[in-house]
Amino acid sequence: MADAAQTINLTNHFLIAMPSMDDDTFSRSVVYVCEHSERGALGLIINKPGDISLAELFQKLDPPLPLPGKVDQPVFHGGPLQTERGFVLHDPVLAEGLEPDQSVYASTLAVPGGLEMTTSKDVLEALSSGAGPRRILVTLGYSSWGEGQLESEIAGNSWLTVDADANLVFDAPVAERYDRALRLLGLEAWMLAPDAGHA
């Protein structure tokens, strides 16, 4: 059984924090896993808005970019690492002449069967000009697990996992994303509480 645990691949899945998780960063978090291999995992928290909006981010860039249409959405806290660096989670962008696994942006990770994550400024420039991906979620920072760390945390009952749903990432109200992610598993948060079922 230990070998099976080592071979799980949670790329394009959600990690849903168990209610018992008391870490400030990850409490009640939903993480979109962009990459998972034997070397570790990388993901972005999709339900923890940060202190600035997309409009403020566009104005802070050097040079500032003209504001696109969706400027009222928040920039999210993607995780505890490299919190000064931007990560853009977006729908796949297809372009003529490119292979399906190639991106129009300089630095993009195509998540197999899922979304794309771009770390280069050109995706924001495309958005600013009215082009770019149809749906985006911008984070500052990311989440990462070393070799075997995520598997160990799952075995320790810190996380639930479920196939990711792009509509939940982009369209669900932020305050509802945790509960909606649980519902993908047929669960409600109260069912997972430590004292659930006790009189």
pLDDT at 93: 80
pLDDT at 13: 97
pLDDT at 99: 57
Which residue shows structure tokens 């972005």? 44
pLDDT at 62: 76
pLDDT at 30: 98
> What tokens were used for 181?
């992610």
List, in sequence order, every residue forming a beta bridge with 85; answer none if it has no partner: none
CATH 3.40.1740.10, domain 2-189, yes or no: yes
pLDDT at 121: 86
Distance of CA 106 to the CA centre of its chain: 20
pTM: 0.89
pLDDT at 3: 46
> What tokens were used for 97?
């002449």
Dist. CA 163–CA 160, nearest whole Å: 11
Distance of CA 107 to the CA centre of its chain: 17
Dist. CA 108–CA 161, nearest whole Å: 24
User: Over its length of 199 residues, how does the chain's per-residue pLDDT go in tens digits?
Assistant: 344 444 689 999 999 999 989 899 999 999 999 999 999 999 999 999 999 998 888 888 877 777 766 667 899 999 999 999 999 999 988 765 555 555 677 788 989 989 999 998 888 888 888 788 889 999 999 999 999 999 999 999 999 999 999 999 999 999 999 999 999 999 998 888 765 444 4
Sequence-ordered strand ranges (E) for 6-135: 13-17, 30-37, 40-45, 49-53, 74-77, 81-90, 108-110, 116-118
Which residue shows structure tokens 């991906």? 133
